[in-house]
């Protein structure tokens, strides 16, 4: 999923839900504090996609942590991008890594970590974790806070 060409920012105007992750656009804005290492966390506790084999819905709790460099992700565009997976059929690993890689392509953060805490499929949860870059020295990064599977609700 490659980033699309520049388009008009989505914030402040009505935007239709993208039909697929490939059609979604992640908007980036200037980091208001490029001279400071800090953490940005997005949490999506109701992420959904489709099983590529059965077509049944899959559910996950996603946590995206990153240390910005020159740009940050605009949250409305991220929400639309994540929602575009609702009718997208892919394995848990593919969805989780595609999201992390798309954020990297959009903003080139200093560091990124994504946790995909997937609810059971076939009786067992499948959790997917990915980290890239070097965590900035002295950056406070709290635990992602998603409990090991015990009903997760």
Asked if pLDDT for residue 144 goes beyond 70, the answer is yes
**For residue 67, what is the enclosing H or E element?**
strand 57-67
Antiparallel, parallel or unpaired: β 127-133 and 57-67:
unpaired
| Vertex 47: Cα angle to 101 and 5 (nearest 5) | 40
3-class DSSP state of 64: strand
State the catalytic residues: 51, 58
Claim: this prediction has a pTM higher than 0.85: yes
- In the chain, the N- to C-terminal Cα span, in Å, equals 31
Domains and CATH numbers, the chain: 38-133 (3.30.1130.10)
- Is residue 47 a contact partner of residue 59, using CB atoms and an 8 Å limit? yes
Asked if pLDDT for residue 95 goes beyond 60, the answer is yes
Read off the pLDDT of residues 11-57 as tens digits, 9 standing for 90 and up.
Answer: 777 888 899 999 999 999 999 999 999 999 999 999 999 999 999 99
């Amino acid at each position: 999923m490659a980033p699309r060409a520049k388009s008009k920012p989505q914030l402040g105007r009505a935007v239709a839900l993208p039909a697929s992750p490939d059609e979604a656009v992640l908007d980036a804005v200037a980091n208001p504090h490029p001279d400071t290492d800090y953490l940005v966390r997005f949490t999506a506790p109701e992420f959904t996609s489709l099983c590529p084999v059965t077509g049944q819905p899959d559910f996950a709790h996603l946590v995206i942590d990153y240390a910005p460099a020159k740009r940050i992700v605009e949250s409305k565009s991220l929400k639309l991008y994540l929602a575009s997976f609702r009718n997208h059929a892919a394995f848990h690993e593919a969805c989780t890594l595609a999201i992390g890689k798309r954020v990297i392509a959009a903003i080139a953060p200093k560091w990124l970590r994504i946790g995909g805490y997937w609810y059971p499929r076939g009786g067992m949860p499948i959790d997917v974790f990915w980290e890239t870059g070097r965590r900035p020295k002295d950056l406070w990064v709290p635990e992602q806070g998603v409990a090991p599977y015990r009903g997760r609700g």
